[in-house]
């Protein structure tokens, strides 16, 4: 059954996709211009070599808008002088319609000043692609299974999970934007000894809540949340009923309640999963047993000291690992390999796992197991996220799970809000530890980058509203319109907007989420500077009653900027508000 709107929606998506392939980004246009020029200048240059030469933004306006190092890269291996090659390259590039002038500078850079047509092109792309501007075709529809968070259903999530949730969700959005077909998955560790311990802990809590003799302190999980679950659970139940329950029943109940709590917490961050896979199901379906059997058949296991060992040689591990202990019980490794066996059997193009860096020793043995099952382990990428520290009043809050005084994800999100929490969790490279300054995150001032960016977006919406009130609309991009956007800031803004697609592509390629917030902050700064020019120079106001043409040109630039801010925030899972109330108006 197809809903009426669905076809139109699909048609729209297809045409956007087509448009995207026809409408190359400025960078793509310039790169292909460079390739064409190089193919003529340096015949026989392979694809491999050509890709080493690219255009990049310049640091100073004196060097034009874009620069390439191509002449320096290739002159050496072809026994030419860099500047001489640069001259030839510049001459060729100068013929391109997006190039106003190209000249050699320094040791052999070719600096390009872009033509008005190039600027028109950028604004045209943004206008045509709208909310799809920034998306790309890098992924080519390849399917990706992205696993993240996978918090144990034994208790609440802590601040570390916050980073995992934010990063995983943003990666999903980025990969989708880059043209991948992404499925997000949460793995539920609901089997083994920790479930038994959870069951016993919960049973004691229930007995306690029902006024029966109990030993809740002696159990493994002592958090208050279990006691709350217990009070809720025992309400209306008689003593006999509780006494008649097996540990497994208590474990089941606690597991369900914990999972519900985890899902609800993630919901508050706006994080939803496409799929949940339970370890228990892997046991019940025979998947775990099958995996163990297949591992035995692979010949990459052996018996020693009464235990079954997995050969990890060649996968970066420093020793082999036990699969089945001498008491006959499998280690955690077996179901985990089984889970990945299951993943691979589902046939995705690529698998990405987001793990904590404290599991750093884990990928080698996991990869070994998967590989022994005959899967192409190069399709699996494991991302290790470093620790998060909560900073309150300028000091790191000490926390440890054992002491039970950890910082709960739910509390952080409630205190700082989902938007600010996400922003900070995404703002650092995953290889760096992250200091989360909660006082800064909850501040609604200019010190807080997320508000600065959201404010810039809201401000643009505000000026657009005002413009609409006066029947002023954004102009269609054209050479004539661009002629009116001649200020250096305006030039800088268009150039910055042109970078968005490559920022997205690079982020997706590197699985690095932190470029986006840095870029968006830069855009917001540009806009705020632009906006503020009017304070000392009334002619720089966006809305000029005395110059309709200029106003509509500036509204074009403003709306393009709003679009990119909104698209970028969207990829981070952060709202792009159309309005932000000032504190005194906040009622």
Partner RNA sequence: GCGCCCGUAGCUCAGCUGGAUAGAGCAACGGACUUCUAAUCCGUAGGUCCCGCGUUCGAAUCGCGGCGGGCGCGCCA
Q: Taking CB under 7 A as the criterion, which residues in 329-358 touch RNA?
A: 331-332, 357-358
Looking at the Cβ atoms of 206 and 571, the one nearer to RNA is: 571
Instruction: Report the sign of the C-alpha dihedral through residues 72, 77, 78, 79, in that order.
Output: positive
State which of positions 525-584 bind RNA (CB under 7 A).
Answer: 525, 528-529, 531-535, 540-543, 579-583
DSSP structural state of residue 427: S
Kindly write down the DSSP assignment for every residue of 203-237, as one continuous string.
Answer: HHHHHHHTT-----TTSS---HHHHHHHHHHHTT-
Choices 114-122, 215-223, 285-293, 323-331; region in contact with RNA by CB under 7 A: 323-331
Asked if 114 and 101 touch (Cβ cutoff 8 Å), the reply is: no
Answer yes or no: are the C-beta atoms of 413 and 391 closer than 8 Å.
Answer: no
Q: Work out which of 160, 168, 449, 573 binds RNA, going by CB under 7 A.
A: 449
The span of 17-25, 88-96, 453-461, 565-573 binding RNA (CB under 7 A) equals 453-461
- Determine whether 78 is exposed, middle or buried from the number of CB atoms within 10 Å of its CB (0-12, 13-18, 19+): exposed
Residues 457, 569 contacting (CB under 8 angstroms): yes
Nearer to RNA, 344 or 451 (CB): 451
CB 362 within 8 A of CB 390: no
Judge whether 469 and 571 are in contact, CB under 8 Å: no
322: β partners: 309
Site residues for RNA, window 70-99 (CB under 7 A)?
72-73, 76
Binding mask 107-146 for RNA (x = CB under 7 A): xxx-x-----------------------------------
448 token code pair? 């807080």
What residues numbered 466-485 form the site for RNA, per CB under 7 A? 466
- Residues near 395 by beta carbon (within 8 Å), at least 6 away in sequence: none
**Length of the chain measured in residues:** 587
Candidates 63-71, 127-135, 252-260, 563-571; binding stretch for RNA (CB under 7 A): 63-71
Least Å from the CB of residue 21 to RNA = 22
Region binding RNA by CB under 7 A among candidate stretches 18-26, 317-325, 344-352, 375-383: 317-325
Among 169, 451, 508, 516, binds RNA (CB under 7 A): 451
Beta-strand ranges (E) seen in 25-135 are: 55-57, 66-68, 99-105, 109-114
Sole binder of RNA in the list 11, 40, 470, 518 (CB under 7 A): 518
* Least distance from RNA to the Cβ atom of residue 106, Å: 3
Query: Which part of the chain contacts RNA (CB under 7 A), choosing from 16-24, 163-171, 286-294, 327-335?
Result: 327-335
Question: What is the distance between the alpha carbons of residues 110 and 269, in angstroms, rounded to a whole number?
Answer: 47
**Interface with RNA includes 163 (CB under 7 A)?**
no
Alpha carbon 150 to its chain centroid, in Å, reads: 17
Q: Which is nearer to RNA, 240 or 586 (CB)?
A: 586
**Binding residue for RNA, selected from 260, 405, 432, 486, defined by CB under 7 A:** 432
Q: Which stretch binds RNA (CB under 7 A): 20-28, 165-173, 187-195, 413-421?
A: 187-195
| Binding piece for RNA, criterion CB under 7 A, among 14-22, 68-76, 227-235, 239-247 | 68-76
Residue 52 found at the interface with RNA (CB under 7 A):
yes
d(CA 353, CA 147): 5
156 and 225 Cβ atoms separated by less than 8 Å: yes
- The whole-angstrom separation of Cα 268 and Cα 56 is 40
In angstroms, what is the minimal distance from the CB of 192 to RNA? 5
Measured from the CB atom, the residue of 143 and 331 that comes closer to RNA is 331
What is the nearest approach in angstroms of RNA to the Cβ of residue 561? 13
Torsion of CA 268, 269, 273, 278, to 10 degrees: -70
Question: Using the rule CB under 7 A, is 15 a contact of RNA?
Answer: no
What is d(CA 146, CA 277) in angstroms, rounded to the nearest whole number?
A: 13
């Amino acid at each position: 059954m197809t809903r009426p709107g669905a076809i139109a929606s699909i048609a729209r998506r297809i045409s956007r996709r087509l448009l995207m392939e026809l409408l190359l980004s400025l960078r793509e246009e310039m790169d292909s211009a460079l390739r064409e020029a190089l193919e003529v200048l340096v015949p026989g240059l392979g694809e491999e070599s050509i890709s080493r030469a690219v255009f990049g933004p310049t640091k100073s306006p004196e060097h034009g808008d874009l620069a390439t190092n191509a002449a320096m890269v290739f002159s050496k291996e072809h026994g030419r002088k860099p500047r001489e090659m640069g001259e030839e390259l510049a001459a060729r590039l100068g013929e391109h319609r997006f190039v106003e002038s190209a000249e050699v500078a320094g040791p052999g850079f070719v600096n390009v000043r872009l033509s008005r047509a190039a600027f028109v092109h950028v604004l045209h792309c943004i206008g045509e692609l709208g909310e799809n501007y920034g998306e790309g075709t890098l992924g080519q529809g390849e399917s990706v299974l992205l696993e993240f968070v996978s918090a144990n259903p034994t208790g609440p999530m802590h601040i570390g999970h916050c980073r995992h949730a934010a990063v995983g969700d943003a990666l999903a959005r980025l990969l989708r934007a880059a043209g991948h077909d992404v499925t997000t998955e949460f793995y539920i560790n609901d089997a083994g000894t920790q479930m038994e311990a959870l069951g016993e802990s919960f049973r004691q809590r229930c007995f306690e809540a029902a006024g029966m003799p109990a030993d809740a302190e002696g159990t493994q999980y002592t958090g208050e949340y279990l006691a709350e679950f217990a009070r809720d659970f025992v309400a209306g139940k008689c003593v006999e009923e509780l006494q008649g329950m097996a540990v497994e029943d208590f474990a089941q109940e606690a597991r369900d309640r914990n999972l519900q709590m985890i899902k609800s917490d993630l919901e508050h961050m706006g994080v939803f999963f496409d799929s949940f896979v339970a370890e228990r199901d892997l046991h019940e379906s025979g998947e775990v047993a099958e995996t163990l059997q297949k591992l035995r058949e692979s010949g990459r296991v052996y018996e020693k000291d009464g235990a079954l060992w997995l050969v990890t040689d060649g996968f970066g591990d420093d020793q082999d690992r036990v699969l089945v202990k001498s008491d006959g019980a499998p280690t955690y490794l077996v179901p985990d390999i089984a889970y990945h066996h299951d993943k691979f059997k589902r046939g995705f193009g690529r698998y990405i796992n987001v793990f904590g860096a404290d599991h750093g020793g884990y990928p080698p043995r996991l990869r070994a197991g998967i590989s022994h099952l005959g899967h192409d382990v190069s399709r699996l990428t494991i991302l290790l996220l470093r620790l998060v520290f909560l900073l309150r009043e300028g000091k790191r809050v000490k926390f440890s799970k054992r002491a039970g005084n950890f910082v709960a994800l739910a509390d952080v999100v409630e205190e700082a809000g989902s938007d600010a929490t996400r922003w900070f969790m995404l703002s650092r490279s995953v290889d760096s530890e992250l200091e989360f300054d909660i006082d800064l995150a909850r501040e609604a001032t200019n010190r807080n980058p997320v508000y600065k960016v959201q404010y810039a977006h809201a401000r643009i919406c505000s000026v657009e509203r005002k413009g609409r009130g006066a029947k002023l609309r954004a102009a269609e991009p054209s050479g004539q319109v661009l002629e009116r956007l001649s200020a250096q800031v305006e030039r800088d803004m268009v150039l910055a907007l042109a970078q968005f697609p490559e920022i997205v592509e690079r982020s997706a390629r590197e699985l690095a989420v932190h470029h986006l917030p840095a870029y968006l902050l830069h855009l917001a700064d540009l806009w705020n500077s632009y906006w503020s020019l009017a304070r000392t120079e009334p002619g720089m106001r966006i809305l000029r009653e005395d110059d309709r043409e200029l106003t509509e040109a500036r509204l074009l630039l403003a709306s393009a900027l709003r679009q990119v801010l909104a698209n970028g925030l969207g990829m981070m899972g952060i709202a792009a508000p159309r309005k932000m109330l000032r504190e005194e108006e906040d009622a």
